[in-house]
Structure 1
Amino acid sequence: MAESRRRQAKRPVSPMLAGPYGHPFHPILVTVPIGAWTASVVFDIASHIVGDPTFLARGAAWLIAVGVIGALVAASVGVLDLFAIPAATRAHRVGLIHMSVNLLVVLAYVANFLWRQAGGGPSGSVGAGPLALNVVALAALGVSGYLGGMLAYRYGVRVADETTQAEGYASDRPTSAGRTG
């Protein structure tokens, strides 16, 4: 029973949308919001160091927007991966928590973007409130990333089975019989 559940979680619900077996799209797509939101924190902090901080404050706001768009795309594929996980399992529970934390993170970043646009948009260095929200949201994203890593690396969701993985460790050198093994 557990073996069939594991096999189910490794197969995509829709290979065209979620990525082929052993090569899911979700981990590739999450790099966009992670990178954009991390860079936005760097821009926020840098806006307190430079002489003319407005360009960094504006850049941080647009990086937040890029991250939100990227997160929505990644989530649309991630939910397909969640559907592949059998219900009433630890992996499914972790997947639901991962998704819930990510939804809260996206909502925090949408609120942060809107906060920054109030009053005509960013001017000067980023205020303490939006900076703090940015840091807290990024920390929550780290928690969610830990859970996503647990899904992939501990529970093997959308990861190829061991037999398929073994192909990568077969020798490329000919054996004594002239075959590769």
Structure 2
Amino acid sequence: MAHESQLQAKRPVSASLAGPYGHPFHPILVTVPIGAWVAGLVFDIASHVVHRPGFLTQSSEWLIAVGVIGALLAAVVGFLDLFAIPTGTPAFRTALTHMALNLLVTAAYIANFLWRYGTYTDGGSVGIGQLVLSAVSLAVLGISGYLGGKLAYRYGVRVADEGTQAEGYAPGRGTTRTSS
């Protein structure tokens, strides 16, 4: 049987802002910065391979910006999810570490964007320092993602309770069977 604190962590603080029960917004929003920053790193690397890299360096710069905007949106709803987790628990400590790493990564990408902004008018490759900053930031994001997965899949934060999940495994409910 689930403890009251476990049930609390499954319910949104604000369904309209954080997503309704069983459908949190945070996991879908994090795909924006992850995708943008991974693509940005690929473009950074590719800028050292192609003959005229200007389009890749500019694209990477703007992918970083898109990722920062997406990260800030994901942070808002993630912060609301944090409020659903009881303090003093391993889940809460994990969530704080997850949040701190994400904020660190977002700050690093803001710095990376500012470092790049307006410097690629010559059409050159991305600087090695900027490329390394992107790679390290993405590695830290991977660690943070692992912790986010731990929150959802191990601690069940914002995941429907087992009784609700059981509905998906009841034979014949919600499906039609066809005979061969």
Q: TM-score, normalised by structure 2?
A: 0.93
Residues 167 and 122 (structure 1 numbering): CA distance in 2 closer, same or farther, change over 3 Å?
Answer: farther
Specify the SS of the correspondent of 2:3.
helix
Contact 1:57-1:122 within 8 A present in 2 as well: no
Specify the SS of the correspondent of 1:52.
coil
Instruction: Give the length in aligned residue pairs.
Output: 174
Match of 1:178 in 2: none
Query: Please, which moves more after superposition, 115-124 or 73-82?
Result: 115-124
Query: Where does structure 1 lack aligned partners over 5 or more consecutive residues?
Result: 175-181
Q: Which amino acid aligns with 2:11?
A: R
Structure 1 distance, partners of 2:30, 2:172, is: 33
Structure 1 distance, partners of 2:22, 2:89, is: 21
Q: Which amino acid aligns with 1:44?
A: D
Matched ranges for 1:12-27 at <5 A: 12-27=12-27
Coordinate RMSD, CA, aligned: 1.7
Residues 121 and 97 (structure 1 numbering): CA distance in 2 closer, same or farther, change over 3 Å?
Answer: farther
Cα drift, residue 123 of structure 1: 3.1
Match of 1:6 in 2: 6
Cα drift, residue 127 of structure 1: 0.6
Match of 1:84 in 2: 84
Contact 1:9-1:86 within 8 A present in 2 as well: yes
Residues 48 and 20 (structure 1 numbering): CA distance in 2 closer, same or farther, change over 3 Å?
Answer: same
Match of 1:68 in 2: 68
Structure 2 distance, partners of 1:170, 1:121, is: 60
Q: TM-score, normalised by structure 1?
A: 0.92
Q: Which amino acid aligns with 1:68?
A: V
Question: Structure 1, residues 46-94: CA drift from partner, whole Å, max 9, x if none?
Answer: 0011110010000000000000000000000000000000000000000
Cα drift, residue 170 of structure 1: 0.8
Contact 1:116-1:122 within 8 A present in 2 as well: no
Cα drift, residue 163 of structure 1: 0.3
Specify the SS of the correspondent of 1:137.
helix
Cα drift, residue 173 of structure 1: 6.8
Contact 2:82-2:95 within 8 A present in 1 as well: yes
Contact 1:21-1:158 within 8 A present in 2 as well: yes
Contact 2:52-2:124 within 8 A present in 1 as well: yes
Q: Which amino acid aligns with 2:116?
A: R
Cα drift, residue 168 of structure 1: 0.5
Match of 2:31 in 1: 31
Aligned-residue sequence identity (percent) comes to: 69
Match of 2:113 in 1: 113
Matched ranges for 1:143-162 at <5 A: 143-162=143-162
Match of 2:171 in 1: 171
Query: Where does structure 2 lack aligned partners over 5 or more consecutive residues?
Result: 175-180
Query: Please, which moves more after superposition, 114-123 or 154-163?
Result: 114-123
Q: Which amino acid aligns with 1:67?
A: G
Structure 2 distance, partners of 1:78, 1:109, is: 19
Contact 2:54-2:123 within 8 A present in 1 as well: yes
Match of 1:179 in 2: none
Residues 122 and 16 (structure 1 numbering): CA distance in 2 closer, same or farther, change over 3 Å?
Answer: farther
